[in-house]
């Protein structure tokens, strides 16, 4: 639609998960969608979807390099980086463009391809100077990578840019020890990069359960050059190579690299929205404060996804979008958001999946837990994978007998964990999950079955 309207029933800032809000139930309402970048947000354009397309490619490459263990003669002759990038982003870009065109074709939707800033509780000013008001406003502006000042100049990338790099880095330094670092270390090492990981903590994935973190760190140290308890002091160009950088560590060591990937977390895109002028509260870390219904401190203004969530996950943002969609249409009978059991996965090698409390979190919360660990190598499927490292760990509250946490590391962990997520959400006792259904033999899920049976409640 043309930009002639100034008053809307609802204005949505951000067309990632925010674009999901205006379903068919909104056909009788005037909707403004304000997006300065690409439709689809982080997930579609620079996050979950392209990274998983890359990790699948990396999985194939890694399998070829590991083939000899299974009596297969195969060799990895190289990776066609431009072809890989083209395969991924030809599909990604066309999906993003189609999503935007679909909205532009909606007679009740006006798309503004610019940024917005609050000038009052229900008033916005766009980059063009155009001012709009809305009865209800949804903030879904996502997050962006944190890049400290030390990382300046050429050859510096974030997860937003590394997948479209023109040159494949034969030597890649990854700064960070979290899930983004873990996934890209797998991707680039499998495709032929020499990877160095710089992590300030004593373990990688240190926010995961300690058993998961410990095993992954051990596996990573065999695969990549991992520098723990280390930070970057400076990044500077070498004297005679314009296509490289020297990464100087606090230890005094220098690592030469063709590219540096800064993976030090992401910060909410809340700082340029004029939230103070609207009276919208934020946490100290920049996240917008929301109540149980995803409503901000201003009635009729909502927020969802990475701009307000404690966990930056697409499936969580999509869920919150459904909650907001309902609440915008039904202000007198709002739906509360359920954040008890939020699963997450790390698509590295080996894969990792987690839901609920870690052992450390349970201890801090004063919950007396019973734990059980079962290893992949003790299942028939584990034999098929030549005893590749991996296990399933489950935690149950001794007082209630209910599951409070589950953590998997190993092949297809992100799929194998699903029965545990379902069991936790519906409050099914662990032994019922294990015994009231048949588990296909010999499949990966038997590691879950046996972990559950090992709980001594």
Across all residues in the chain, what is the average pLDDT?
A: 96
User: Pairing between strand 391-397 and 403-409?
Assistant: antiparallel
Give the orientation angle of helix 179-190 with respect to helix 210-223, to 10 degrees.
30
Give residue-wise pLDDT tens across range 367-399.
Answer: 999 999 999 999 999 999 999 999 999 999 999
Considering the domain architecture, whether residues 98 and 216 belong to the same structural domain is answered as: no
Same domain, 113 and 190: no
Query: CA-to-CA distance for 207 and 344, rounded, in angstroms?
Result: 12
CATH number, domain of 167, equals: 3.50.50.60
Q: Determine the Cα–Cα distance for residues 84 and 193; give it in Å rounded to an integer.
A: 15
User: Is 128 among the domain residues?
Assistant: yes
Q: Which residue among 282, 297, 329 closes a domain?
A: 329
The predicted structure's pLDDT at residue 270: 98
Q: Are the C-beta atoms of residues 53 and 86 closer than 8 Å to each other?
A: no
**Cα 49 from Cα 88, distance rounded (Å):** 9
Assess whether 12 and 139 both reside in one domain. Answer: yes
249, 264, 279 - which closes a domain: 264
User: Is 311 part of a structural domain of the chain?
Assistant: yes
Q: Mention every residue, 6+ apart, whose C-beta is less than 8 A from residue 220.
A: 182, 185, 197, 204, 226
pLDDT at 1: 46
User: Could you confirm whether 233 is annotated as catalytic?
Assistant: no
Looking at the structure, tell me whether residues 193 and 221 fall in a common domain: yes
In the 3-class helix/strand/coil scheme, how is 430-449 assigned residue by residue? HHHHHHCCCCCCCCCCHHHH
Which residues contact residue 271 at a Cβ distance below 8 angstroms, ignoring those fewer than 6 apart? Answer: 286
Report which of 298, 304, 300 is spatially closest to residue 319, judged by C-alpha positions: 304
- Residue 243 clears pLDDT 90, i.e. is over it: no
Query: Would you call 148 exposed, middle or buried from its count of C-beta atoms within 10 A (0-12, 13-18, 19+)?
Result: exposed
- How do residues 247-262 score in pLDDT, each as one tens digit? 999 999 999 999 999 9
Are 282 and 270 a contacting pair, CB within 8 Å?
Answer: yes
Give the structural domain span for 357. Answer: 350-453
What are the C-alpha distances in Å from 217 to residues 118, 144, 225, 227, 336? 45, 26, 11, 11, 38
Identify the active-site residue in 155, 233, 326, 441.
441
Model pLDDT, residue 240? 75
> Where do we find the tokens 């499998």?
190
CATH code, domain with 365? 3.30.390.30
Task: Tell whether 340 is covered by a domain.
Answer: no
pLDDT at 3: 57
* 192 and 289 fall within a common domain: no
Mark whether 246 and 203 lie in a shared domain: yes
For residues 12 and 135, membership in a common domain is answered with yes
Count how many domains the chain has.
Answer: 3
Q: What is the pLDDT of residues 314-324, one digit of tens each?
A: 999 999 999 99
Is 70 within a domain? yes
Query: Which residues neighbour 254 within 8 Å (Cβ) at sequence distance 6 or greater?
Result: 246, 247, 248
* Helix 48-65 and helix 81-104, axial crossing angle in degrees, nearest 10: 160
Kind of pairing between the strands at 123-126 and 116-120: antiparallel
Please provide the DSSP assignment of 94-114 as one string. HHHHHHHHHHHT-TTEEEE-S
Q: Given this model, what pLDDT does residue 5 score?
A: 80
Asked if residue 197 and residue 78 are part of one domain, the reply reads: no
Residue 354 falls inside a structural domain: yes
The answer to the question of residue 149 being in a domain is no
pLDDT in tens, 169-224: 999 999 999 999 999 999 999 999 999 999 999 999 999 999 999 999 999 999 99
CA Rg value for the chain: 24
Q: In DSSP terms, which residues pair with 109 in a beta bridge?
A: 31
**Model pTM score:** 0.96
Whether 336 maps to a domain, the answer reads no
Residue 260: what are its φ and ψ, rounded to 5°?
A: -120, 125
> Any residues with CB less than 8 A from the CB of 347 and at least 6 apart, and which?
51, 52, 55, 183, 186, 414
> Domain for residue 151, yes or no?
no
Share of the chain above pLDDT 90, in %: 96
CA 23 to chain centre: 25
d(CA 370, CA 400): 11
Other beta carbons less than 10 A from residue 231's beta carbon: 14
Question: Residue 369: beta bridge partners?
Answer: 397
The verdict on 365 and 302 lying in the same domain is no
Q: Is the peptide bond before 97 cis (omega within 30 degrees of 0)?
A: no
Same domain, yes or no: 258 and 275: no
| One domain, residues 35 and 90 | yes
Q: Are residues 20 and 124 in the same domain?
A: yes
Domain boundary at 220, 243, 264, which?
264
Read off φ and ψ for residue 313, nearest 5 degrees: -135, 135
């Amino acid at each position: 639609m043309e930009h002639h309207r100034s008053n809307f029933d609802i204005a949505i800032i951000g067309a990632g998960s925010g674009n999901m809000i205006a379903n068919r139930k909104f056909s009788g309402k005037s909707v403004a969608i304000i997006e300065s970048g690409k439709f689809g947000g982080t997930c579609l354009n620079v996050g979950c979807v392209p990274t998983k397309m890359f990790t699948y490619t990396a999985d194939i490459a890694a399998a070829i390099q590991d083939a000899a263990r299974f009596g297969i003669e195969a060799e990895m002759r190289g990776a066609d980086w431009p072809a890989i990038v083209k395969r991924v982003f030809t599909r990604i870009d066309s999906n993003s463009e189609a999503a935007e065109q679909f909205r532009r074709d909606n007679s009740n939707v006006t798309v503004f391809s610019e940024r917005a800033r609050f000038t009052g509780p229900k008033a916005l000013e766009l980059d063009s100077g155009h001012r709009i008001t809305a009865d209800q406003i949804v903030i879904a502006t996502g997050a962006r990578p944190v890049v400290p000042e030390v990382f300046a100049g050429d050859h510096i990338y974030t997860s937003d840019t590394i997948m479209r790099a023109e040159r494949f880095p034969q030597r890649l330094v990854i700064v960070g020890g979290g899930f983004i670092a873990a996934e890209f270390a797998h991707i680039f090492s499998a495709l032929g990069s020499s990877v160095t990981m710089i992590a300030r903590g004593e373990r990688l994935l240190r926010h995961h359960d300690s058993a998961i973190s410990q095993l992954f760190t051990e596996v990573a140290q065999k695969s990549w050059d991992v520098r723990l308890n280390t930070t970057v002091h400076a990044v500077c160009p070498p004297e005679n190579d314009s296509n490289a950088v020297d990464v100087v560590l606090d230890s005094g060591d220098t690592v030469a690299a063709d590219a540096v990937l800064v993976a030090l977390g992401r910060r909410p895109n809340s700082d340029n929205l004029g939230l103070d002028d609207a009276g919208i509260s934020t946490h100290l870390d920049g996240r917008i404060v929301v109540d149980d219904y995803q409503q901000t401190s201003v009635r009729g203004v909502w927020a969802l996804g990475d701009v307000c969530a404690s966990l930056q996950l697409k499936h969580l943002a999509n869920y919150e979008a459904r909650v907001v969609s309902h609440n915008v249409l039904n202000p007198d009978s709002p739906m509360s958001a359920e954040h008890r059991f939020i699963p997450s996965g790390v698509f590295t090698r080996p894969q990792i999946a987690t839901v609920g409390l870690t052992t450390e979190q349970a201890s801090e919360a004063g919950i007396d837990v019973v734990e059980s660990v079962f290893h992949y190598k003790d299942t028939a499927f584990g034999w098929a994978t030549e005893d590749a490292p991996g296990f399933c760990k489950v935690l149950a509250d001794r007082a209630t007998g209910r599951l409070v946490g589950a953590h998997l590391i190993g092949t297809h962990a992100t799929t194998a964990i699903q029965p545990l997520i379902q069991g936790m959400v519906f409050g099914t006792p662990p032994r019922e999950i294990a015994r009231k259904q048949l588990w296909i033999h010999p499949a990966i899920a038997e590691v879950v079955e046996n972990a559950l049976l090992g709980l001594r409640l």
